[in-house]
RNA sequence: GCCCGGAUGGUGGAAUGGUAGACACGCAGGACUUAAAAUCCUGUGGCCAUUACGGCUGUGCGGGUUCAAGUCCCGCUCCGGGUACCA
C-alpha cells in the first residue's frame, strides 16, 4: 500500500507544472463532476441530424455483489464507440438502466422480511456509483429501472397487446384479434366456442401445461432455463415435471420470421448459428399410416420420406393420444407398465434415458402406404411427445437411433440405399443391414407394383422430392416444416416480477385490465415465501387478490408474475423516451433512434434474451408500434474475463493476496507451500475475484478502461493480470508527463516522421474503433507516443490531435490534457481529427530480399522504382551473389513495395 | 454425436497469401539517486557461434497448393462454447 502513497499528493503541490505527476484521483474526480454539472452527455433533442448512433449495453441485474471487472469490458467498448461517434458529429443515445426484478432480491426479502425494492434500490445505487466512477458517458436522464411502476406499466401494456394479437399465417404477420375471421362452423357453436377459438389463436394464452418445476426456488422454469443435466440454471438444483396452469407465449408462430431476420443482421456468425439451431427448422413430410383394425390414421413426421421402403416398424411416444386405442388387449398391461415407468423415469433422471433405448410392442400393426406391408407399432420414450406428431416411422438402416433400437429388439433392418462409399467392406456391411447409413446413395428395393411407385436408382434429393409429391398426389401425406422452438412459458410463481394485468372470474372467463387501470402494482406483503405446491406469494394478499365487477361477479387476480425476461424484452425502446407517461415511447423519437446501432453484451444471452426480445419486437412491428423489423442491427459479444487462481497440491484454494511469485513459481506467503496457478472464472469459491473499485483506486478509471480494451480482442476469453494494468497505467503516465510539459510542445512546423506517424495513427485508431479492435488502436497510440519521446517534442497541433484520439479511451486524462494545452471546456464534442494520406506517403521502401522464399537481407529503394530497375539493383548487390552463388535464378518475383523473391535451384 | 470458435516467445497478444513475434508485461543491463521506488535509455523467440551488419531453426501434428503459408486446401490432436434421442 505504501508504494502508492505518492498518489495522494494534492494537485496543487508546489512543484512546477512540467514536473507534474499524473494525479488521476484529482483528475477523474474533477472531470466526473464537470460532466455531471454540465450534463455533457445529454442526448440531443434535435432529431434533424441525419447521423445518429444508438449504442447500447445489455443492462445489468444489480446484484448485491456490485460490479465485477467483467461489466466494464462491454461498457467501455460501447463508451469508446459513443464518444467517437459524438466527435464524428453523430447524435448519440447511450443510456444505462437496471434489469432489477429477480430472484436474489426476493430471496433476501424472504430471509429478512424487508421489501425487495429496498435492497434493489440499494444495489442500484452501488452499481450507479461504480459505473459513474468509470467515466462512462451515459445520459443519466435516460436511466430506467424495470421494477419502477412507470416502467412496468408499459410491460403490462405490451402483454395486453400480445394477448390481443393472433398470427396470420398467410401474411406471416401478427394482427389484432379484432381482425380475426371466425369460421362459420365455429360461430355456429355459440359464444363460448368462439372465445375458445380466439383463445387458441392469441399469442398469449393460459393453459394447463407440463412444466419444469424447481422445488428449491419454488418456481417453474422455461425449457431454456433447464440445463441438459436436468438442473435449474439459476440454482443448480434438480427440477421436476409438474402440471400447472400457466401463461404461455406462441413464439413458434414467429419461427420463420425469426429465422429469416437473422440473415439481415450484423451479428457474430456463431450467435446467428446458435439462434438458427435453437429455432431448429427442419423440412420433411407428414405421412399417414393406416392402422390395422382401427379406423384411425397414425400420422408421422419424417425428414426422410424417401426411406419409406425401409420403414420396418413404427414408434409412438408414451404420451401419444392414440397409445391406448392402438394397444391390443394382451399387450395392455406391459404397455401401461412401460408408460408409467417412463413417466417416473423422466421425473427422476432424463439424462439416463439417453444411454439405453427402451420400448414395448403394442400388439398392433400399421400399413406402410408405399408397399402395403404390415409394420409393428411400438411404444418407446426415445420418441418425444412435443416434437412433430409424437410418432415416427422407424428406418433402422438409415437412422442411427432407429438402428440402435432395432438391434436391441431384433427388428428387421432393410437397407434401401446403395451407399456412396468407397470402402467395399463398409459398403457390404451397410447393404446387409449390419451398419447404419445416413448419407447419400442410390435407392434399391424401393419399388412396388401394387402402388406403382418406383424410385430405384435415384439419389436422396430426388427421392425426397419424388416421394413427397407422390404422397401428396395420393392424399397420403404432405410436405411439412417443423421447428424445435416451443411455446414460451411466461409465468413464474414469484412476488418480485411484473404482475399480469389479468383477472380470472368465477365463471371461468379471463379478462385483462383496461389500459387506464395500469400499472397494476404489487401489494405490500408480510411474507414473501411462495407456497410449496406452486402458488405465488401474491395469493396471500387477499385484499389485492379478490375483485368484484359491477355486476357482483367475483374474480381473482392472476397471482403469477412475469419472468425476468419480460422487462429486458423491450427496454431498449423505453430508453428512447423514458419519461413518457402517455405512451411507452414517442413514435417520432422511436423512428429516429431505432434500430440499435451497436449492442454489446455477454454471449450467455445468445439465445434467450435475444430471441425473446426479437419476438416481441416483431409483434410490435406488425402492430405498427415500432418502425423496424429487427431491434438490434449490430451485435457484439465480449469475451469473459477470467483470473488466475491458486491452489495447494491438495487442491485447496488460496486467496490471491496470499500468493507471492518467485522465479516464476508461486508460494504461499504464510506457509511457504508451493502453489499451482490456474486460470478460471472469477468466483468467490476460487478467491480470485477482482474488484473494479480496487483497480480504480490503485490505477484510476482510465487505466482500468484502457487495460480492459488492451488485454486482447474484445470477443475472446482472457485472463486478468494486474501487471497488464501497470502497463497501460505507465502509458497514460508517460502521455501525461509528455504533453503536460510545455517544454515538449511547441508552435511551428512538425517533424515529418511524427507527422507521418500521427496521420497513420489517426487513420488506424478511427478504423479500429469502427471495427471494435480496440487493442490494436491502443498499441498504435503507444507507438506514436514512443516516437514523440524519441523526438523529444511535438507541435501543439500534434498534441491536440493525440489528445483527441485518446479521449474516447481515456476520457478523464484527455480532458485534463486538453485544458492544459490551453483549450476551454470539454473535449467531448471536438471534431475527430482528419487524416491526410499525403502525409502518410513513404518515399522509400525497405525491400526484404528473399531467396527461395527465405528473407536474407534488406535494401532500401524508392517506392517509385520500376520492377526491372529493382531487379538490376538487387542482382548487383554483393549479398545476392553470396546467396545464389554459381546458380542462375529461374525466376525473380518483384511485388512493388512488398517483397523481392529470387527463385533458383541448387 | 452434431454445430461453432481457438491453438503464435516466459506471459497477454500483433500480422490485406509477401520481413513472424507489432504493442505491452516480465526479465537483463545502463542512467539518475547516499540508497530504494518512480522515471528515462538499451537489449530480449529458441539453438549454435560470437570473427562478423553471422548461421540454423521456429506459429499444435501430418500432408498439399504456391515464387512465397501463422494465413488457403485435405487429414488429425488437444482446448473452449453451444446443443443433443428434434425423427
Nearest residue, CA→C1' of B82: A274
Rounded distance between C-alpha atoms, residue A141 and residue A765, angstroms: 30
Helices and strands, counts by H and E, chain A? 30, 37
- Spatial contact of A411 and A405, defined as CB atoms under 8 Å apart: yes
For A406-425, write each residue's pLDDT tens digit.
999 999 999 999 988 877 88
Nearest residue, CA→C1' of B41: A790
Measured in whole angstroms, how far is the alpha carbon of residue A878 from the centre of its chain? 60
Torsion of CA A138, A143, A145, A151, to 10 degrees: -140
Q: Å from A859 (CA) to B21 (C1')?
A: 22
Nucleotide with smallest C1' distance to residue A228 CA? B84
Residue A82, phi then psi, degrees to nearest 5: -65, -45
Q: Quick one: cell of A525?
A: 406483503
Nucleotide with smallest C1' distance to residue A405 CA? B85
Nucleotide with smallest C1' distance to residue A385 CA? B86
Q: Specify the 3-state DSSP secondary structure of A241.
A: strand
Rounded distance between C-alpha atoms, residue A656 and residue A644, angstroms: 8
Q: Å from A701 (CA) to B43 (C1')?
A: 33
Q: Å from A286 (CA) to B55 (C1')?
A: 72
Nearest residue, CA→C1' of B20: A855
Residue A659, phi then psi, degrees to nearest 5: -110, 135
Nucleotide with smallest C1' distance to residue A789 CA? B40
Chain B: positions less than 7 Å from a protein CB are 3-5, 10-16, 18-20, 22-26, 37-42, 53, 55, 67-69, 80-87
- Spatial contact of A135 and A579, defined as CB atoms under 8 Å apart: no
Residue A286, phi then psi, degrees to nearest 5: -95, 130
Q: What is the pLDDT at residue A345?
A: 62
Q: Å from A351 (CA) to B61 (C1')?
A: 36
Q: Quick one: cell of A405?
A: 433400437
Q: Å from A765 (CA) to B37 (C1')?
A: 34
For A284, the enclosing helix (H) or strand (E) is strand A282-291
Q: Specify the 3-state DSSP secondary structure of A30.
A: helix
Q: Quick one: cell of A14?
A: 508546489
Nucleotide with smallest C1' distance to residue A389 CA? B87
Report the relative pairing of strands A635-638 and A598-602 from DSSP bridges: parallel
Which residue spans within A122-250 are E strands per DSSP?
A: 144-145, 165-168, 173-176, 204-214, 219-221, 240-249
DSSP label at residue A561: B
Residue A663, phi then psi, degrees to nearest 5: 50, 45
| Residue A850 neighbours by CB distance under 10 Å | 17
Please calculate the CA angle A522-A527-A529 and round it to the nearest 5 degrees: 95
Q: Specify the 3-state DSSP secondary structure of A88.
A: coil
Q: Å from A856 (CA) to B50 (C1')?
A: 20
- Spatial contact of A203 and A253, defined as CB atoms under 8 Å apart: yes
Q: Quick one: cell of A707?
A: 487495460
Locate cell 525473380: which residue? A892
Nearest residue, CA→C1' of B68: A853
Cβ neighbours of residue A97 closer than 8 Å, sequence gap 6 or more = A59, A142, A143, A144, A145, A146, A571, A575
Nearest residue, CA→C1' of B39: A734
Q: Å from A732 (CA) to B83 (C1')?
A: 45
Q: Specify the 3-state DSSP secondary structure of A675.
A: strand
What are the CA-CA distances from residue A130 to residues A133, A694, A837 (Å)?
Answer: 5, 11, 42
What are the CA-CA distances from residue A92 to residues A75, A190, A583, A594 (Å)?
Answer: 15, 55, 22, 12
Phi-psi region of A293 (alpha: psi -120 to 50; beta: other; left: phi over 0): left
Nearest residue, CA→C1' of B37: A3
CB under 8 Å, gap of 24 or more: what pairs does A869-872 form? A870/A894, A870/A900, A871/A900
What are the CA-CA distances from residue A591 to residues A162, A369, A570, A596 (Å)?
Answer: 22, 55, 15, 11
Q: Å from A276 (CA) to B54 (C1')?
A: 58
Q: Å from A423 (CA) to B74 (C1')?
A: 18
Q: Å from A734 (CA) to B39 (C1')?
A: 9
Nucleotide with smallest C1' distance to residue A773 CA? B14
Nucleotide with smallest C1' distance to residue A661 CA? B26
Q: Å from A336 (CA) to B66 (C1')?
A: 68
Nearest residue, CA→C1' of B40: A789
Q: Quick one: cell of A339?
A: 408408460
What are the CA-CA distances from residue A714 to residues A86, A96, A331, A368 (Å)?
Answer: 22, 20, 61, 56
What are the CA-CA distances from residue A83 to residues A94, A798, A806, A829 (Å)?
Answer: 10, 20, 11, 8
Torsion of CA A220, A225, A228, A231, to 10 degrees: -50
Q: Whats the size of chain A, residue-wise?
A: 906
Residue A795, phi then psi, degrees to nearest 5: -75, 160
For A289, the enclosing helix (H) or strand (E) is strand A282-291
Rounded distance between C-alpha atoms, residue A790 and residue A693, angstroms: 35
- Residue numbers of chain A with a pLDDT score lower than 50: 1-19, 347-348, 350-353
Nucleotide with smallest C1' distance to residue A782 CA? B23
Q: Å from A355 (CA) to B76 (C1')?
A: 28
Nucleotide with smallest C1' distance to residue A854 CA? B68
Nucleotide with smallest C1' distance to residue A353 CA? B85
Residue A670, exposed/middle/buried by CB under 10 A (0-12, 13-18, 19+)?
exposed
Measured in whole angstroms, how far is the alpha carbon of residue A595 from the centre of its chain? 17
Measured in whole angstroms, how far is the alpha carbon of residue A691 from the centre of its chain? 25
Q: What is the pLDDT at residue A346?
A: 52
Q: Å from A673 (CA) to B45 (C1')?
A: 32
Q: What is the pLDDT at residue A16?
A: 33
Q: What is the pLDDT at residue A15?
A: 33
Amino acid at each position: 500500500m505504501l508504494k502508492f502513497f505518492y498518489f495522494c499528493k494534492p494537485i496543487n503541490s508546489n512543484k512546477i507544472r512540467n514536473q507534474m505527476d499524473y494525479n488521476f484521483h484529482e483528475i477523474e474526480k474533477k472531470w466526473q463532476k464537470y460532466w455531471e454539472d454540465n450534463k455533457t452527455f445529454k442526448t440531443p433533442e434535435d432529431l434533424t441530424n441525419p447521423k445518429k448512433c444508438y449504442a447500447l449495453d445489455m443492462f445489468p441485474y444489480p446484484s448485491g455483489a456490485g460490479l465485477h471487472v467483467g461489466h466494464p469490458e462491454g461498457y467501455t467498448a460501447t463508451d469508446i464507440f459513443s464518444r467517437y461517434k459524438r466527435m464524428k458529429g453523430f447524435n448519440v443515445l447511450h443510456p444505462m438502466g437496471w434489469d432489477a426484478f429477480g430472484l436474489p432480491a426476493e430471496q433476501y426479502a424472504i430471509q429478512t422480511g424487508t421489501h425487495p425494492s429496498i435492497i434493489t434500490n440499494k444495489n442500484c445505487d452501488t452499481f450507479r456509483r461504480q459505473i459513474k466512477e468509470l467515466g462512462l458517458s451515459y445520459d443519466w436522464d435516460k436511466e430506467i429501472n424495470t421494477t419502477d411502476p412507470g416502467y412496468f406499466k408499459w410491460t403490462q401494456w405490451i402483454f395486453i397487446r400480445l394477448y390481443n394479437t393472433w398470427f396470420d399465417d398467410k401474411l406471416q404477420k401478427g394482427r389484432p384479434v379484432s381482425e380475426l375471421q371466425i369460421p362459420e362452423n365455429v360461430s355456429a357453436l355459440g359464444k363460448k366456442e368462439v372465445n375458445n377459438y380466439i383463445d387458441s389463436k392469441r399469442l398469449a394464452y393460459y393453459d394447463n401445461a407440463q412444466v419444469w418445476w424447481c422445488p428449491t426456488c419454488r418456481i417453474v422454469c422455461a425449457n431454456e432455463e433447464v440445463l441438459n443435466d436436468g438442473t435449474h440454471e439459476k440454482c443448480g438444483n434438480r427440477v421436476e415435471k409438474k402440471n400447472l396452469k400457466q401463461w404461455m407465449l406462441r413464439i413458434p408462430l414467429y419461427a420463420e420470421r425469426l429465422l429469416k431476420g437473422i440473415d439481415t443482421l450484423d451479428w457474430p456468425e456463431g450467435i446467428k448459428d446458435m439462434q438458427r439451431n435453437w429455432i431448429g427448422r427442419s423440412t420433411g413430410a407428414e405421412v399417414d399410416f393406416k392402422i390395422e383394425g382401427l379406423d384411425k390414421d397414425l400420422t408421422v413426421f419424417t425428414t426422410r420420406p424417401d426411406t419409406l421402403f425401409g420403414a420396418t416398424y413404427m414408434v409412438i411416444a408414451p404420451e401419444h393420444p392414440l397409445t391406448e386405442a392402438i394397444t391390443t388387449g394382451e399387450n395392455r398391461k406391459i404397455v401401461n407398465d412401460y408408460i408409467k415407468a417412463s413417466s417416473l423415469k423422466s421425473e427422476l433422471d432424463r439424462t439416463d434415458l439417453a444411454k439405453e433405448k427402451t420400448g414395448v410392442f403394442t400388439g398392433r400393426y400399421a400399413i406402410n402406404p408405399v408397399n402395403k406391408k404390415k409394420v409393428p407399432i411400438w411404444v418407446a420414450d426415445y420418441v418425444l411427445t412435443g416434437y412433430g406428431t409424437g410418432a415416427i416411422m422407424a428406418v433402422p438402416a438409415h437412422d442411427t437411433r432407429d438402428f440402435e433400437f432395432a438391434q436391441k429388439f431384433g427388428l428387421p433392418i432393410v437397407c434401401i440405399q446403395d451407399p456412396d462409399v468407397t470402402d467395399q467392406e463398409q459398403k457390404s456391411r451397410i447393404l446387409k443391414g449390419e451398419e447404419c447409413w445416413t448419407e447419400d446413395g442410390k435407392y434399391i428395393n424401393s419399388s412396388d407394383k401394387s402402388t406403382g411407385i418406383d424410385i430405384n436408382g435415384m439419389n436422396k434429393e430426388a427421392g425426397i422430392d419424388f416421394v413427397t409429391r407422390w404422397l401428396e398426389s395420393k392424399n397420403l401425406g404432405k410436405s411439412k416444416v417443423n421447428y424445435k422452438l416451443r411455446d414460451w412459458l411466461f409465468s413464474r410463481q414469484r412476488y418480485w416480477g411484473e404482475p399480469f394485468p389479468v383477472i380470472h372470474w368465477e365463471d371461468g372467463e379471463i379478462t385483462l385490465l383496461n389500459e387506464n387501470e395500469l400499472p397494476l402494482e404489487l401489494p405490500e406483503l408480510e411474507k414473501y415465501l411462495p407456497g410449496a405446491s406452486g402458488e405465488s406469494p401474491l395469493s396471500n394478499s387477499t385484499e389485492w387478490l379478490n375483485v368484484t365487477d359491477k355486476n357482483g361477479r367475483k374474480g381473482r387476480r392472476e397471482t403469477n408474475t412475469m419472468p425476468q425476461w419480460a422487462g429486458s424484452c423491450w427496454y431498449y425502446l423505453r430508453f428512447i423516451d423514458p419519461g413518457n407517461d402517455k405512451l411507452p415511447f414517442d413514435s417520432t423519437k422511436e423512428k429516429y433512434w431505432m434500430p440499435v446501432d451497436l449492442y454489446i453484451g455477454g454471449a450467455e444471452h445468445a439465445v434467450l434474451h435475444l430471441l425473446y426480445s426479437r419476438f416481441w419486437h416483431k409483434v410490435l412491428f406488425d402492430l405498427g408500434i415500432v418502425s423496424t423489423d429487427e431491434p438490434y442491427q449490430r451485435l457484439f459479444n465480449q469475451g469473459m474475463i477470467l483470473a488466475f487462481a491458486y491452489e495447494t497440491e491438495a487442491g485447496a484454494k488460496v486467496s490471491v493476496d496470499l500468493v507471492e511469485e518467485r522465479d516464476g513459481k508461486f508460494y504461499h506467503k504464510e506457509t511457504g507451500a508451493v502453489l499451482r496457478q490456474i486460470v478460471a472464472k472469477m468466483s468467490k469459491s476460487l478467491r480470485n475475484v477482482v474488484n473494479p473499485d480496487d483497480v480504480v483506486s490503485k490505477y484510476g478509471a482510465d487505466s482500468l478502461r484502457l487495460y480492459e480494451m488492451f488485454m486482447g480482442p474484445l470477443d475472446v476469453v482472457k485472463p486478468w493480470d494486474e501487471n497488464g494494468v501497470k502497463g497501460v497505467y505507465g502509458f497514460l503516465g508517460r502521455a501525461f508527463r509528455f504533453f503536460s510539459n510545455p517544454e515538449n510542445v511547441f508552435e511551428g512546423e512538425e517533424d515529418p516522421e511524427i507527422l507521418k506517424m500521427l496521420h497513420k495513427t489517426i487513420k488506424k485508431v478511427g478504423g479500429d474503433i469502427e471495427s471494435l479492435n480496440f487493442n490494436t488502436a491502443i498499441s498504435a497510440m503507444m507507438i506514436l507516443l514512443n516516437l514523440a519521446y524519441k523526438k523529444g517534442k511535438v507541435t501543439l497541433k500534434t498534441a491536440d490531435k493525440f489528445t483527441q484520439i485518446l479521449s474516447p479511451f481515456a476520457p478523464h486524462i484527455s480532458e485534463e490534457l486538453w485544458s492544459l494545452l490551453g483549450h476551454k471546456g470539454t473535449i467531448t464534442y471536438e471534431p475527430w481529427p482528419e487524416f491526410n494520406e499525403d502525409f502518410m506517403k513513404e518515399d522509400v521502401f525497405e525491400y526484404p530480399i528473399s531467396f527461395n522464399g527465405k528473407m536474407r537481407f534488406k535494401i532500401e529503394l524508392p517506392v517509385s522504382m520500376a520492377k526491372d530497375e529493382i531487379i538490376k539493383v538487387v542482382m548487383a548487390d554483393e549479398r545476392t551473389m553470396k546467396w545464389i552463388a554459381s546458380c542462375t535464378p529461374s525466376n525473380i518475383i518483384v511485388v512493388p513495395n512488398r517483397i523481392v523473391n529470387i527463385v533458383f535451384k541448387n
